[in-house]
Amino acid sequence: MAERTDPSDPSGFNIELLLKSARTYLAFGEQLQPLSARFHETLAQEGDWNAALGQYFDAIKTALAQATDDPGSHPELAHLWTATLDGWQQAIASLGFPVSITPQTGTNPDAWQAYQRTQTQYLGLLQRAAKEALDLMEQRLTTQVAAGATVDHLRDLYNLWVECNEETYGRMLRSTEYSEFSGYLLNTLLRCYSAGETQP
């Protein structure tokens, strides 16, 4: 039997990252399941589906906002935007740089703080893309319902969510802003370890 790859090994298959992603999908599926039930319930009662849809997405956005302020409150949902950051940190680790949130021996404290600030701004881009995906999903569901389309299965909602995420994250990845922040991240990290910048 093949040995399991050490999840801390940046050069191999990261099992821990894969499991985090799976938990994220399950967590969002749990958020979507009541929406599917609410859809059929509202149609049966001839209620205002647009109003129900708006209320439900407001609840999801509130949960995401809570995860932004306190990732520990909804760790799986927070992984919607931290997955990309995890990928960045894994790539940095493969180059031999530590990914600790505290300065390492031999680093310039000012440069390290600049790196942490840039990393926070980078994370903000990822959070914004996650929120935009929800906004887009709500918009498309509203359009579908107005056209008389039905949402018969949870899978339909999930596929739409994936499609919206691919669109918003793809747009972010192609943006000049993302390219600049990716460069800033690497440059600020390298300055932490540049010769002549370390403290005596």
pLDDT tens figures, 27-63: 666 666 665 666 556 656 656 667 767 777 777 777 7
Q: Tokens for 163?
A: 């499609």
Could you please report the per-residue DSSP string of 21-80? Answer: HHHHHHHHHHHHHHHHHHHHHHHHTT--HHHHHHHHHHHHHHHHHHHHH-TTTSHHHHHH
pLDDT score recorded for residue 29: 61
What is the percent of the chain where pLDDT is above 90? 3
pLDDT number for residue 86: 66
Give me the mean pLDDT over the 147-164 stretch: 77
Amino acid, res. 139: Q
Residue type, 40: H
Q: Is residue 102 over pLDDT 60?
A: no
